[in-house]
Chains A and B, each alone.
Chain A
Amino acid sequence: MSTQNTSSTERTRTGEGREPIIELQDAEVTFEMERGTSRVLDKVDLTVYRGEILGVVGESGSGKSMLAMSMLDAVDDPGILSGQVTYYPQDDDPVDVLNLSDERLRQLRWEHISMVFQGAMSSFNPTMGIREHFVETLKAHDTDVDEGMERARELLSDLYLDPDRILGSYAHELSGGMRQRALIALSVLLEPDLLVMDEPTAALDLLMQRSILTLLRKLKEKYDLTMLFITHDLSLVAELADRMAVMYAFELVEKGPTNRILRNAAHPYTRALLNATPNLDAPLSEMRPIAGSAPDPVNVPEGCSYHPRCPLADQQCVATDPEYHAVTDVHDAACFHWEQAAETIPMNTGVGSGDGETDGSNDAETDGGVDAGTDGSDDAETDGGVDTETDGSDDAETDGGVDAGTDGSDDGPGGEI
């Protein structure tokens, strides 16, 4: 990470006026196994800012669930969690999460930080009606039941559910999509500030998945929530998150605004992952799997853990674990060769340009990434104009093909004005 930034750019880095809500520093989870020490979270630093939706993407077994567990000090024995987890309440002193009493931790978990996992079936007690789950949760946290149930009904309506029907049912009487939405309502019942979700839409139909994303955005605005959304499915993060972090082999290899990473991922793994994600826009012939397979947690390669699969790897990558390099003020990649990534690994996803511009300073000037909003497209356009690389023509072709095939043509002109 570049450290010579002035304090003003430091402010930009963290997002002007943005305050952290939770911070992981040097978080590490290890299990002692017969075969050796299994390190399933490897010195992870991550800050979630108040009011944002942060997406964490990682394949099965990359350590992403451990990341979620660590935030709530919920790593099961015999796993050992070390490092620092700090929660910053709105108007109170920072909380050292790993040194809380059981009672304080219990309060923190529902009233400040709440979690939703995949498979709502197992989160609901099958012998208890849905209404009881809401009532019991309110009672357990000494909250006024009438007022709380009023809020429950409103939350259920917000999620396009019929409150009477849902509250009057048992979990098994509801469809998977209804159960998962009911669980989301339950998790937001005690007005937490932060909602941590681990694959909350897995095992649901795409229509329900995507609808839930839309509803989550709505909930976030209405109830002023911060969200951490963890999934193996990059396209969900692309849809939902303001900012994203990519996990590979128990480490975060890239962090930055979602728009920027989708257009111009700097880490070779992220680029390969984008190329391997089935979608409707990319030319079929250009979707390809990632060569090789992910490492065993007992036996993670030395140096950069991605080097055995990486077309850019050289001696340095084998010998040394790369620090974060600042691609822009708001975008970091743990790769020595991030400047060459775009050329070596063209992106086929049919969006933006595959040109990994080295002029991070330009981007920083426009501050495009900070608000992860609509200005991402402006940057892309600028990049495209500046782009003199040989692969520029390929990209243009790809874009053209996409526009013709989908309603992208509607967005195209708008984005370029």
Chain B
Amino acid sequence: MSSGDPLITLEDIEVHFEDGGGLFDFSEPEVVQAVDGVDLDIYENDVIALVGESGCGKTTLGKTTIGLQRPTGGSIKYKGQDIWDAKDGRGDVDIPYKDIRRRLQIIHQDPGSSLNPNRRVRQVLEAPLKRWQGQMSSGDRRREILSMLERVDMTPPEDYAGRYPHQLSGGEKQRVALIRALLMDPDLILADEAVSALDVSLRVEMMDLMLELQDNFDTSFVFVSHDLSNARYLAANNGGRIGVMYLGRLVEIGPAEQIINDPKHPYTKVLRWATPDLDPDNDAGPPPVRKLDVPDPKNPPSGCRFHTRCPKIIPPEDVDIDQETYNDIMTLRHDIDDRTVEVDQLFESVGVEPETDADRRDNADAFVDAALTEYFDGNVTSPHRDRVEDAIEAVAVGEWDEASTTLSERYESVCERKDPTLDQSSDHPVACHLYTDTETGSPEPAPMD
């Protein structure tokens, strides 16, 4: 449904936060790369749903698109005008910042805290009209507010206009927030998890309302959600797109139904897996990730940031190995690199409490067996077994670096070495080495899976 020149253009957006380093904390502040290298165009009457786990940067990116978050790198333009240049008065400003600010609105996740508890609904809704349409008579304002309340099924509107926020249900508060945003006559509304706090049974109703109003007011939406079914409902109903984020990167974007029915990135497939269905025959099986928890965003993995959890991580070309064994080796490698192999427990499991290096050396064989069971269920065959045993033996005697090198020199994946790019020339791009010829960077046929 989108057309013409972009309303909002994001180019190579980067938002890095400093974490720690407070007043009396002189340690080096750590940098969280909340958003990193994102390009995105948003059109008029467009819907984009951003999905991903907590901490993937979707809310930060959303706030950047409406000029609430200043990027630390890259540029954001509203109808060709750089928003932050306008704010800072840099260069020739074609569109004043105050106009831009008004056209980009937000609805928050928690409707309760975004409405002033001491003001009646009428007062809440009058404020934007007074500010932006000062010529309006109070009678017109009143009529406008009542008609909007009626439009969102809050009837009788006179009754609702006189209520305080605590006299509204969660769904009603969210509708008031939606009206308040719409009264600014915005071009774009960021809906940040706007239905997540509502009961499942009320979400469709709220989303229907958003779609209806979008249609009537020609507003674009950026909808941030961790829930793929909500993202689908909102985006697919209006020919919109779904963008998938992982640790600050946009890893796949495309038409909503394509993302749902033909997900490409292994991470998008994980989100697809995680979305519950109502089919009792559908046994989802175990999660298609090697690790359940997201890595620390202060220290994101090299290359493809998903490689530490990816079940399809690509083995080196010259290594003949099945995916399962390779995955197990990579999990062992990450544990060795992070020094999180449970050495004491493994020794304990074979009845040893080593006190000296000699103890460790003497019991290394038993330790290796225990670790092979732990990481491989004992199933690892030559030629990989020898190398794995060498690495584990090095761990047993505390030679972590040697263990790391033993494995990395043979098993380093392209996924940890090279950062896959998102080539936005197609309408459903994906940033994953499985879909590109890693030498030339050109697309190759999608792999079977």
Whether chain B is bound by chain A comes out as yes
Which A residues lie within 8 Å of B54 (CB)? 175-176, 205
B53 touches A239 (CB 8 A): no
A177 touches B278 (CB 8 A): no
B274 touches A60 (CB 8 A): no
A287 at the interface (CB under 8 A from B): yes
B201 at the interface (CB under 8 A from A): yes
Q: Which of A205, A206, A274, A377 contacts B278 (CB 8 A)?
A: A274
Distance in Å from the Cβ of B38 to the closest Cβ of chain A? 20
Which B residues lie within 8 Å of A214 (CB)? 284, 286-287
| Cα distance, A239 to B230, chains bound together (Å) | 18
For residue B280, which residue of chain A has the nearest CB? A259
Q: Which of A59, A280, A289, A376 contacts B204 (CB 8 A)?
A: A289
Decide yes or no: A258 and B280 within 8 Å by CB, A162-B340, A210-B287, A278-B200 being known contacts. Answer: yes
Which A residues lie within 8 Å of B169 (CB)? 293
Distance in Å from the Cβ of B263 to the closest Cβ of chain A? 11
For residue B289, which residue of chain A has the nearest CB? A207
11 contacts between A and B (CB under 8 A): A153-B345, A176-B54, A206-B227, A207-B271, A210-B274, A233-B200, A238-B277, A259-B280, A289-B202, A289-B205, A376-B281
B342 at the interface (CB under 8 A from A): yes
Number of interface residues of A (CB under 8 A): 56
For window 150-208 of A, CB contacts with B under 8 Å fall at 153, 160, 162, 164-165, 175-178, 205-208
Size bin of chain B's contact surface: 35 or more
| Cα distance, A233 to B342, chains bound together (Å) | 37
Which B residues lie within 8 Å of A98 (CB)? none
Q: Quick one: which of A206, A289, A411 has the most chain B CB within 10 A?
A: A206
Decide yes or no: A279 and B229 within 8 Å by CB, A207-B270, A207-B274, A258-B280 being known contacts. Answer: yes
A90 at the interface (CB under 8 A from B): no
Which 8 residue pairs across A and B have the least CB separation, nearest first? A289-B205, A235-B276, A207-B274, A278-B229, A259-B280, A206-B274, A351-B279, A349-B278
| Cα distance, A415 to B280, chains bound together (Å) | 11
A262 at the interface (CB under 8 A from B): yes
A235 touches B292 (CB 8 A): no
Distance in Å from the Cβ of B47 to the closest Cβ of chain A? 13
Digitize B282-319: 1 where CB-to-A-CB distance is under 8 Å, 0 elsewhere: 10101101011110000000000000000000000000
Digitize A268-302: 1 where CB-to-B-CB distance is under 8 Å, 0 elsewhere: 00000110111111001001111001000000000
A350 at the interface (CB under 8 A from B): yes
A341 at the interface (CB under 8 A from B): no
| Cα distance, A276 to B272, chains bound together (Å) | 20
B203 at the interface (CB under 8 A from A): yes
| Cα distance, A177 to B226, chains bound together (Å) | 14
Known contacts A262-B279, A288-B204; 13 further A-B pairs (Cβ under 8 A): A162-B340, A207-B53, A207-B287, A235-B278, A238-B279, A276-B201, A278-B232, A279-B229, A280-B232, A280-B275, A284-B233, A290-B201, A402-B279
B272 touches A206 (CB 8 A): no
Distance in Å from the Cβ of A39 to the closest Cβ of chain B? 20
| Cα distance, A292 to B192, chains bound together (Å) | 26
B92 at the interface (CB under 8 A from A): no
Which B residues lie within 8 Å of A235 (CB)? 200, 276-278
Which A residues lie within 8 Å of B429 (CB)? none
B200 touches A206 (CB 8 A): no
Which B residues lie within 8 Å of A176 (CB)? 54
B357 at the interface (CB under 8 A from A): no
Q: Which of B170, B278, B284 contacts A234 (CB 8 A)?
A: B278
A276 touches B270 (CB 8 A): no
Q: Which of A177, A351, A377 contacts B293 (CB 8 A)?
A: A177
Distance in Å from the Cβ of A118 to the closest Cβ of chain B? 12
Q: Which of A210, A276, A350 contacts B284 (CB 8 A)?
A: A210
